[in-house]
Amino acid sequence: MRRPAVLLALALAAPLAACASADEGPPTLMWYINPDSGGQARIASECSEESGGAYRLEVTLLPRDAPSQREQLVRRLAAGDTSIDLMSIDPPFVPEFANADFLAEVPDDVADAVTQDVAEGAVAAATFDDELVVVPFWANTQLLWYRKSVAEAAGLDMTQPVTWDQVIQAAADQDVTVAVQGTRAESLTVWVNALVESAGGHVLENPEEEDPRAVVPSLDSDAGRTAAQIIADLTAAGVGGPQLSNATEDINASMFESDDAGFMVNWPFVWQRGKAGVEGGSLDQATLDDYGWAMYPQAVEGEQARPPIGGVTLGVSAFGEHQDLAFEAAQCIVQPEKQAAYYISDGNPPGSLAAFDDPEVQEEFPMADLIRESLQHAAPRPQTPFYNEVSSSIQRTWHPPRSVSPDSGPGRADTLVMDVLQGRALL
Amino acid sequence: MSAATTAVPAAAEAARGTRRRAPLSDRRRQEARLGLLLASPAIVVLLAVVGYPILQAVWDSLFNYKLTNPDARSFVGLGNYGLILSDPIWWQALGVTVLITVVTVVVELVLGFALALVMNNALGALRPGLRTAILIPYAIITVVSAFAFRFMFDLTSGFVNAWLPFVGDDTDWFASFGTAVTVISISEIWKTTPFISLLLLSGLAQVPGELQEAAKVDGATWWQRMRRVTIPNMKAAIMVALLFRTLDAFRIFDNIFIMTNGAAGTESVSFLAYRQTIQRLEIGIGSAVSVLLTIAVALIALMFVKGFKVNLAASTRAGR
């Protein structure tokens, strides 16, 4: 009996010995990332090396879409999961994380360092209650993509700002489509918010209010009605395409590659997708050559458009055991040269303005300067801890787009937002 | 019903009878204790994995509790239930769920019965292959089949519009309630008809051959034999098939999640629970929706058992 007992003891001790050896060396920081083409993993490896042995940064994947990423992170953080050190967070969910005390406080020196030479929109998206609560990383914005041949035939001067009315009219005249994200998902809120902000309004009056019962929605305003009128005009003109109410960014990018494409509002991934299509033989070079890009359309003629902003910010978990090191790692990740390389490898535009000056970026992305300009004008979605409720209410009341009218959409949205936040309605 | 399954109620009845007549012998008592001891791990596990979550959900449903704001947790009693039952969204979701359940279960019952008859009457050599072929859809994970149907009916990647002559090429199936719910129901029917047919096949196998023969000799037509002999003898199997499928269909979630994500008014009760609990992180309201869903499922089960007037234990004893 003695021999098996010794063997058993050895068998039990072996993994413990392995654990002990794994604990030696620099602490491992776990970075929960959104799926990409491997760029964040590469940055993690580079920063581990550059830390000189201070830490080892490892990545682990979150689900594909932003709401699912939020759900997984919140569940873990609400349980006080200490395995998370760094998180790639979609900007609209930042206030909710900050309000729930899920984020470690950003030290002043770090805040100063990571906002130097960063696009205004990206800083705004990383701020809650006048404080930087996460580190701005890459930033995304939507452009107005158009077919040069269509714009030319319609007589549109795309070197000057254009309005939604002009785009819709041009598409109707030329019998082509205006691809917009009409599906009942976050992308619909992105569109509505951009329209409202471009019309000079806001979705919420007081987004930073921490008491849900005190939040005041403000879609039922001139700006909200202007936004609804644009959507109503677009559907009335029949230029949204047959799949408008299910159109996602991917579907629209695909639609824009077809022959009856005219205009589209979408993120810059469209360009790389087009180039990959040409390389793969699924898209003609002539079609890609016909791609044009311009600033997001104006809702009101002469008023600067406020394009959507997306991207990723870096949050340091309040429950991580190495918060100082995590902030150190975050500062390493957002270095302009790393963001430039990330842009080139993964197609995600930098939040750092300096990164746009990289010659390789300029060569690879001819619209880089426009993206930089767009990021400066971009308006974030409402920076509220109750963003999910607000966004879902908009999706419920502004979908399908053909049902939206200035008389009903904004008012219904405001009522639902208030009812939901005051605990009077389901969602 | 097999002899093995009939043994348990019969033994229990016998044990009850013995208890009434005379006190238990020491041996009997020891056996009973041993039986309880042997069954206790299973009971504990069952209580842990089924009982505890249900009780926790009932408890949580009495609170206003959001996962991102645990400090504001407050007791609201039955307030969450009042909110849910007074909201049109709940009734709409319930209506959609009932519609999908009724339509899919009725169609599946008819189709499943036909397939069971085919399998039952197929030649011996054909039977294994035929059963395998019919069961393949059921072996596919629901999410996978939901994606398959989504892509089939999708305007960009789908081929259905091109195949159906009476459908326009630019028909977006997922844009409006009628078409979206049709596709969801079709995918549900495709996926689970094999299950119902398998259960009905076991029911068909239970119908005594001599009864069929006797009816045939008496000159009964196929339809008469079906109505007077086959179906009445399959009552228990039909009830089990309907009950299982109804409960399953009532909890529909995957297909809706993949195909419409609740758009076009296609939200089911399960989807509503998901939206409150997972998306909104409102644990209190979400738990209340889940409890209402559980009550609805229990009522359906009760309705079937009472409605069919089938006492499975009695019928098995009779079968002996």
Q: Which residues of A330-346 are buried (b: 16+ CB within 10 A; e: fewer)?
A: bbbbbbbebbbbbbbeb
pLDDT confidence of residue A427: 86
Is the pLDDT at B10 greater than 60? The verdict is no
The 10s digit of each residue's pLDDT in B23-48 is 778 898 999 999 999 999 999 999 99
The 10s digit of each residue's pLDDT in A313-330 is 999 999 999 999 999 999
Instruction: Please state, rounded to an integer, the average pLDDT across all residues of chain B.
Output: 87
Phi, psi for residue B156 in degrees, rounded to 5: -85, -50
The ipTM value here is 0.83
Choose the weakest-confidence range: A354-368, B102-116, B129-143.
B129-143
Are B280 and A99 inside 8 Å of each other by CB? Answer: no
CB < 8 Å & 24+ apart, contacts of A411-417: A411/A219, A411/A220, A413/A217, A413/A219, A413/A220, A413/A224, A414/A217, A414/A218, A414/A219, A414/A220, A414/A224, A417/A204, A417/A215, A417/A217, A417/A219, A417/A389, A417/A390, A417/A393
B86 touches chain A (CB under 8 A): no
Distance from CA of B278 to the nearest CA of A (A): 7
B83 touches chain A (CB under 8 A): yes
Q: Which chain B positions have a beta carbon within 8 Å of A242's beta carbon?
A: 155, 170-172
pLDDT confidence of residue B319: 40
pLDDT confidence of residue B72: 86
**Domains A8-140+310-372 and A143-306+386-421 alike in fold:** yes
Option in A96, A254, A392 nearest B68 (CB):
A96
Choosing among B87, B91, B92, B156, which should be mutated to test the A contact, i.e. which has the most A CBs within 10 A?
B156
B132-143 mean pLDDT: 91
Query: What confidence category does residue A19 fall into, taking pLDDT thresholds of 50, 70 and 90?
Result: very low
B216-224 mean pLDDT: 91
Query: What's the number of CA atoms in the CB half-sphere (13 Å) around residue B297?
Result: 16
Contact assessment for residue A166 and residue A372, using Cβ atoms and an 8 Å cutoff: no
Distances (CA, A) of A51 to A37, A38, A55: 24, 20, 6
Interface of A with B (CB under 8 A): 67, 71, 74-75, 78, 96-97, 99-100, 102, 183-185, 242-246, 251, 254-255, 385, 388-389, 392, 399-400, 423-427
Contact assessment for residue A226 and residue A195, using Cβ atoms and an 8 Å cutoff: yes
Tokens found for residue A33: 């990332």
Give the chain A residue whose CA is nearest to the CA of B89.
A426
The 10s digit of each residue's pLDDT in A282-301 is 999 999 999 999 999 999 99
Cα–Cα distance between A247 and A258 in angstroms, integer? Answer: 15
**Sheet-wide strand order for A135-141:** A56-61, A28-33, A86-89, A309-316, A135-141
CA B306 to the chain's CA centroid: 17
Q: Does domain A143-306+386-421 have CATH number 3.40.190.10?
A: yes
Give the chain A residue whose CA is nearest to the CA of B278.
A71
pLDDT confidence of residue B23: 75
Three-state DSSP class for A102?
A: coil
A144-167 mean pLDDT: 97
pLDDT confidence of residue B5: 40
Name the burial class of residue B69, with classes exposed (0-12), middle (13-18) and buried (19+) by CB atoms within 10 angstroms of its CB: buried
The 10s digit of each residue's pLDDT in B42-89 is 999 999 999 999 999 999 999 999 998 888 899 999 999 999 999 999
Of A210 and A110, the structure prediction assigns the larger pLDDT to: A110
A238-242 mean pLDDT: 93
Is the pLDDT at B3 greater than 60? The verdict is no
Strands (E), A52-162: 56-61, 86-89, 127-128, 131-132, 135-141, 143-147
Q: Does domain A8-140+310-372 have CATH number 3.20.20.140?
A: no
Tokens found for residue B50: 């089924």
Query: What's the number of CA atoms in the CB half-sphere (13 Å) around residue B234?
Result: 27
A18-40 mean pLDDT: 81
Q: Which chain B positions have a beta carbon within 8 Å of A78's beta carbon?
A: 67-68, 70, 281
User: 1.20.870.10, 1.10.3720.10, 3.40.50.720, 3.40.605.10: which CATH number matches B80-319?
Assistant: 1.10.3720.10
pLDDT confidence of residue B320: 37
Query: What confidence category does residue A9 fall into, taking pLDDT thresholds of 50, 70 and 90?
Result: low
Give the chain B residue whose CA is nearest to the CA of A396.
B263
Q: Write down the H helix ranges in chain B.
A: 3-21, 26-46, 52-60, 79-85, 88-121, 127-139, 142-153, 160-163, 177-206, 209-217, 222-225, 231-233, 235-250, 254-259, 269-274, 283-308, 312-319
The letter for the amino acid at B90 is W
Beta strands A261-266 and A291-294: pairing type? unpaired
The letter for the amino acid at B79 is G
- Indicate the domain borders of chain A: 8-140+310-372, 143-306+386-421
Give the chain A residue whose CA is nearest to the CA of B153.
A243
Tokens found for residue A227: 């936004």
Option in B170, B279, B285 nearest A388 (CB):
B279
Is the pLDDT at B17 greater than 90? The verdict is no
Option in B68, B261, B276 nearest A185 (CB):
B261
Distance from CA of B290 to the nearest CA of A (A): 14
Distance from CA of B155 to the nearest CA of A (A): 7
Q: Which chain B positions have a beta carbon within 8 Å of A96's beta carbon?
A: 68
Q: Which chain B positions have a beta carbon within 8 Å of A102's beta carbon?
A: 68
The 10s digit of each residue's pLDDT in A49-98 is 999 999 999 999 999 889 999 999 999 999 999 999 999 999 999 999 99
Distances (CA, A) of B179 to B146, B153, B171: 15, 10, 9
* CA neighbor of A135 nearest in space, from A312, A310, A313, A309: A313
Distance from CA of A319 to the nearest CA of B (A): 15
Q: Which residues of A299-327 are buried (b: 16+ CB within 10 A; e: fewer)?
A: bbeeeebbbbbbbbbbbbbbbbebbebbb
CB < 8 Å & 24+ apart, contacts of B54-63: B54/B294, B56/B287, B57/B287, B57/B290, B57/B291, B57/B294, B58/B287, B58/B291, B60/B283, B60/B284, B60/B287, B61/B284, B61/B285, B61/B287, B61/B288, B61/B290, B61/B291, B62/B284, B63/B283, B63/B284
Are A392 and B278 inside 8 Å of each other by CB? Answer: no
Distance from CA of A224 to the nearest CA of B (A): 22
Q: How many CB atoms lie within 10 A of CB B83?
A: 19
Are B89 and A385 inside 8 Å of each other by CB? Answer: no
Contact assessment for residue A86 and residue A316, using Cβ atoms and an 8 Å cutoff: yes
Give the chain B residue whose CA is nearest to the CA of A96.
B68
Q: Which chain B positions have a beta carbon within 8 Å of A255's beta carbon?
A: 156
Instruction: Please state, rounded to an integer, the average pLDDT across all residues of chain A.
Output: 92
Q: Is the pTM of this model over 0.80?
A: yes
